[in-house]
Amino acid sequence: MADPLFDKIALVGIGLIGSSLARVIRRKNLARRISISTRRAGTLERARELELGDAYSIDPAEAVADADLVVVSVPVGSSGEVAESIAPALKPGAIVTDVGSTKRSVIAQMEPVLPKNVHFIPGHPLAGTEKSGPDAGFADLFENRWCIFTPLPDTDPAALEKLSEFWRRCGSNVDTMDPAHHDMVLAIVSHLPHIIAYNIVGTADDLQTVTKSEVIKYSASGFRDFTRLAASDPTMWRDVCLHNKDAILEMLARFSEDLASLQRAIRWGDGEKLFDLFTRTRAIRRSIIEAGQEIDAPDFGRHGADPADGDKG
Amino acid sequence: MADPLFDKIALVGIGLIGSSLARVIRRKNLARRISISTRRAGTLERARELELGDAYSIDPAEAVADADLVVVSVPVGSSGEVAESIAPALKPGAIVTDVGSTKRSVIAQMEPVLPKNVHFIPGHPLAGTEKSGPDAGFADLFENRWCIFTPLPDTDPAALEKLSEFWRRCGSNVDTMDPAHHDMVLAIVSHLPHIIAYNIVGTADDLQTVTKSEVIKYSASGFRDFTRLAASDPTMWRDVCLHNKDAILEMLARFSEDLASLQRAIRWGDGEKLFDLFTRTRAIRRSIIEAGQEIDAPDFGRHGADPADGDKG
């Protein structure tokens, strides 16, 4: 196995992403030491029980001391607070990165607070599941997923390359992007889908004419697909909504316009328009499967996992 | 194995549902003979190559002659036409059922046309995948799924029981419901999710600021979940939209109202409201898993099927 990339990595936040990083760092020998910090004592204790690191501290400043790489994996609304806590303790020359799903807001919160003698490189691994917490992580999580960096104008190329190498060894493909463009891309590929999923599940939950037990019983006919995204971490997603507001509102406006048009086609019985849209959308899934970003099995492979599954309208 | 329930079953339409029925009928010995009819010569030829039945005919009237059970598995917009074609050829006392996702419309199309000396029992197995055609079917499709009947006021209880037994032997749980209530339930658990999925995929496809290749590349962060439903059969879904218009428009109106309220919470930074909704929706997935209608594995078990998968915002 290759020599460790870093002497010490500090993981601030040990949820799904942080704990998956801990596992892959260990498995791929990416650091000699892992120190872990998280806000809640119970979560820290659980990380210790799972033996995710070498040192554990409630105090993020203690965890980041001497670290060559610091990965902040907290809800984006807590980025500024974490940056303030760790700033005085950072080792000169350390690389500091994050995993947040919004980048302009994270940069605005962290960049002004961090010392100039560290390399702050905002990052975002597009990986995860609907589960959260230190038990939910696994070493394969980043395999074949993308990690997007949004470097600042003065980012040191050597530091960026080292961080890129770290993520590649975690299994990811790496990409760089302007922060504003990142936030727009994520608004459509991730934030809007989650918000729509939360919304439709909420609508179903509120109905009077159809009972909740009917919704649950008959959910395999389509609805259950949405419940996965709508089971994602509420704190994380509240923060995403609050911190990528402009791009999300833009995408919501487009979605609502399109929905109004579709609704009109249904009301007026415009079968041709419906057929055209329903045909066009079919091609996109094929492209996603060909790009290696989705499994090529009917019903998400549910039938493979459990022969008792399927769905239709 | 138990004696066959029927001497001859006729399958009119041999797509995902029809061909899954053919396979399970054979596997479970539910009929002595299977006759198959479908409109397109190429599809019929494919059914023959797959050896799905014992007799094949382009003419549905020929297929249903002497059949004790006729299952019409065609897009709901074609129900009336099929009923007219088969009506003169049906054997007195035969059971005629369908699998359509809308029930009031199917009843309105078929009931007046079918002879009074057959048992017409509208049905709807809530099972399927995003694939279509005779190759897409499989014998396990109905296992542990629900089949809903919407019997007419004069339905013969013995015929209903026999059809129920048929679906139970196919692996399904059976339920009965008023047709109007069925259409309302399906509008929320199936039709709205499909329409929303089609719409969001269409919105992403139309964007200028984010390219299609970016949408595909980064789709694992949420978007890809929607592409599955949006890859469903366009003809089937066009017909569902046209034939369950009132219930769908009702659900779309509720969804849009809720979305406007969520949009407002995002615009005004109402974190508490967002957090409350995102917490409430999480519980529903748990209930669906407990009801046996969803697999209990993160990310739909995609990681089990292919270790290179995952998603997050």
Mean pLDDT of chain A: 94
Same domain? For B150 and B227 the reply is: no
Instruction: Evaluate whether residue A313 is within a structural domain.
Output: no
Same domain? For A210 and A81 the reply is: no
A146 DSSP β-pair partners: A173
**Contact assignment for B216 to A287 by CB distance below 8 Å:** yes
**Contact assignment for A238 to B278 by CB distance below 8 Å:** yes
Name the residue in chain A with its Cα closest to that of B214: A185
Shortest alpha-carbon distance between residue A41 and chain B (Å): 22
- Given CA atoms A217, B306, A233, A127 in this order, what sign does their dihedral have? negative
Bridge pairing between strands A69-72 and A95-98: parallel
Identify the residue among B266, B270, B286 best suited for mutation to test binding to A, counting A beta carbons within 10 A and taking the highest: B266
Instruction: Evaluate whether residue B82 is within a structural domain.
Output: yes
**Contact assignment for B300 to A301 by CB distance below 8 Å:** yes
Same domain? For B191 and B172 the reply is: no
Asked if residues A173 and A126 have their Cβ atoms less than 8 Å apart, the reply is: no
CATH label of the domain that carries residue B157? 3.40.50.720
CA atoms within 13 A on the CB side of B82: 28
Same domain? For B169 and B235 the reply is: no
Q: In angstroms, what CA-CA distances link A98 with A17, A18, A21, A114, A299? A: 10, 10, 12, 13, 34
Residues with Cβ within 8 Å of B262's Cβ and at least 6 positions away in sequence, in order, are A195, A198, A199, A202, B274, B277
**Contact assignment for B258 to A125 by CB distance below 8 Å:** no
Instruction: Evaluate whether residue B1 is within a structural domain.
Output: no
Chain A positions touching B298 (Cβ under 8 A) are: 129-131, 136
**Contact assignment for B284 to A218 by CB distance below 8 Å:** no
Kindly report the backbone phi and psi dihedral angles of residue B187, in degrees, each rounded to the nearest multiple of 5, phi listed first.
-60, -40
Identify the residue among B183, B189, B258 best suited for mutation to test binding to A, counting A beta carbons within 10 A and taking the highest: B189
**Contact assignment for B295 to A311 by CB distance below 8 Å:** no
Determine the pLDDT at residue A229: 95
Same domain? For A144 and A63 the reply is: yes
Same domain? For B130 and B116 the reply is: yes
What residues make up the domain containing B204? 181-305
Same domain? For B158 and B201 the reply is: no
Determine the pLDDT at residue A26: 98
CATH label of the domain that carries residue B209? 1.10.3660.10
Q: How far apart are CA A39 and CA A44, in angstroms?
A: 8
Instruction: Evaluate whether residue B284 is within a structural domain.
Output: yes
Instruction: Evaluate whether residue A312 is within a structural domain.
Output: no
Q: How many domains does chain B have?
A: 2
Same domain? For B170 and B187 the reply is: no
**Contact assignment for B231 to A198 by CB distance below 8 Å:** no
The number of helices, as runs of H, and strands, as runs of E, in chain A is 14, 9
Same domain? For A69 and A94 the reply is: yes
**Contact assignment for B252 to A259 by CB distance below 8 Å:** yes
Q: In the predicted model, is pLDDT for residue A312 greater than 50?
A: no
ipTM of the complex: 0.93
Shortest alpha-carbon distance between residue A92 and chain B (Å): 31
Same domain? For A154 and A67 the reply is: yes
Q: How far apart are CA A202 and CA A216, in angstroms?
A: 13
**Contact assignment for A218 to B266 by CB distance below 8 Å:** no
**Contact assignment for B200 to A196 by CB distance below 8 Å:** yes
Same domain? For B150 and B196 the reply is: no
Q: In the predicted model, is pLDDT for residue A125 greater than 90?
A: yes
Instruction: Evaluate whether residue A308 is within a structural domain.
Output: no
By Cβ distance, the residue of A186, A216, A291 closest to B287 is A216
**Contact assignment for B191 to A222 by CB distance below 8 Å:** yes
Q: Where among B119, B151, B177 does a domain terminate? A: B177
Mean pLDDT of chain B: 94
Identify the residue among B176, B258, B281 best suited for mutation to test binding to A, counting A beta carbons within 10 A and taking the highest: B281
DSSP 8-state class, residue A3: P
Q: In angstroms, what CA-CA distances link A24 with A18, A34, A125, B141, B264? A: 10, 11, 14, 37, 40
Instruction: Evaluate whether residue A310 is within a structural domain.
Output: no
Same domain? For A170 and A198 the reply is: no
Chain A positions touching B192 (Cβ under 8 A) are: 200, 203
**Contact assignment for A238 to B274 by CB distance below 8 Å:** yes
Determine the pLDDT at residue B312: 38
Q: What is the pLDDT along chain B (313 residues), one digit of tens a residue?
A: 678 999 999 999 999 999 999 999 999 999 999 999 999 999 999 999 999 999 999 999 999 999 999 999 999 999 999 999 999 999 999 999 999 999 999 999 999 999 999 999 999 999 999 999 999 999 999 999 999 999 999 999 999 999 999 999 999 999 999 999 999 999 999 999 999 999 999 999 989 888 889 999 999 999 999 999 999 999 999 999 999 999 999 999 999 999 999 999 999 999 999 999 999 999 899 999 999 999 989 999 887 644 333 343 4
By Cβ distance, the residue of A209, A219, A249 closest to B267 is A249
Q: In angstroms, what CA-CA distances link B58 with B43, B96, B99? A: 10, 19, 20
Name the residue in chain B with its Cα closest to that of A269: B242
Q: Where among B177, B206, B240 does a domain terminate? A: B177
Determine the pLDDT at residue B306: 43
Chain B positions touching A194 (Cβ under 8 A) are: 222, 313
Instruction: Evaluate whether residue A186 is within a structural domain.
Output: yes
Q: Where among B149, B177, B205 does a domain terminate? A: B177
Identify the residue among B212, B213, B294 best suited for mutation to test binding to A, counting A beta carbons within 10 A and taking the highest: B294
